[in-house]
Amino acid sequence: MQILFLGTSAGRPTKERNVTSIALSVHGHFNRFWLFDAGEGTQHRLLETKLKLNKLERIFITHLHGDHLYGLPGLLCSRSYFDGAGPLQIYGPTGIRDYIESAFRHSSAHLDYELEVTEIEAGRIIDEPEYQVEVAELDHRILSFGYRIVESPQSGKLDTGKLARLGVQPGPLYGKLKNGEDVTLPTGQMIHSAEVVGPTSPGRIVTILGDTRPCANADSLARVADLLVHEATFAGGMEEKANEYGHSTIIQAAQCASNAQAKKLVVTHFSSRFGEEDVARLVEDASSVFPDTVAAYDYLEVDVLKGNN
């Protein structure tokens, strides 16, 4: 799993930062991917990466403010020009379907692939063998969601050395043992999977929050996450202004990571009032609350490692 930040500015773009969008590679290095939010210009940012729209499987919209979805209609239309663009699923708050349908109706747009739009409520919205996705409502000026992506447990490592000593050659039997099946050799000897496969390990957890004030649901979604992505629109000491606009300070983001016992925090969605030197100082302040804090910037790539090792 790997995250690529396509836009990291709040409200409006700057010369250095576009508005919000995050790509999550879930099936190998920059092959198939998911997109979280699609601010204006997202498809232009994608042109500078290895990501191709025909490999985009799902889009998750956190909320309906323009800096998080004004790039969606254009991106959807452009996807029709990519060979092999299969079905696409979009998840978002109530109103996302009407927004898309209105844009297409008034522009006479037509898609050459199947589009499924799901207006979500709190709870588990995806439950598949590889990944589960849970959502919860956050505390913003409008309905805003956070997403918790949980990778299924990973089977243990196969002890190939022991198998070689037992006379088991690489091949189909390796796969069966890896999948938990016991096998019988031509000699009649039975090999038990538990004897040659290490213990199962928990899958990785990524939490991506929409715009929010500090709230219990943010902490819950971020619980023991290997990577937490949290907005940091304002600096520490600006809590009153952050609360007025439904946002968080970078210190509050760090407190969320600490409360949730997350492994790594990446902060994003910075107010345009902050230059790059300002952001560096903000991260220094936040690191006193949560040491493993990193400031996102456009095109930053972050590998999601279990336990951040």
C-alpha 128 chain-centroid distance: 16
Residue 211 known to bind ligand? yes
Please enumerate in sequence order all residues whose Cβ is within 8 A of that of 218, keeping only pairs 6 or more positions apart, or say none.
Answer: 138, 139, 146, 209, 212, 230, 256
3-state secondary structure of 154: strand
Strands 227-231 and 205-209: parallel
Query: Is 67 one of the annotated binding-site residues?
Result: yes
Q: Is 65 annotated as a binding residue?
A: yes
Is position 139 annotated in a ligand binding site?
no
Query: Does an H or E element contain 69, and which?
Result: helix 66-69
* DSSP letter for each residue of 211-270: S--S-HHHHHHTTT-SEEEEE--B-TT-HHHHHHHT--BHHHHHHHHHHHT-S-EEEE-B
Q: Is 68 annotated as a binding residue?
A: yes
| Residue that is written with structure tokens 């970078």 in the block | 250
Which single residue is written with the structure tokens 């499924």?
Answer: 116
28, β-bridge pairs: none
Closest CA to 136 of 151, 121, 150, 149: 121
CA–CA distance, 12 with 218 (Å, rounded to integer) = 24
- Which residues have a catalytic role annotated? 67
> Residue 141 is encoded by which pair of tokens?
């000026």
Sheet holding 32-36, edge to edge: 115-119, 88-92, 56-60, 32-36, 21-27, 2-7, 301-303
| Element containing residue 115 per DSSP (H, E) | strand 115-119
Give Dmax (Cα) for the chain. 75
Annotation: binding site for Zn(2+): 63, 65, 67-68, 140, 211, 269
Q: Which residues are annotated as a binding site?
A: 63, 65, 67-68, 140, 211, 269
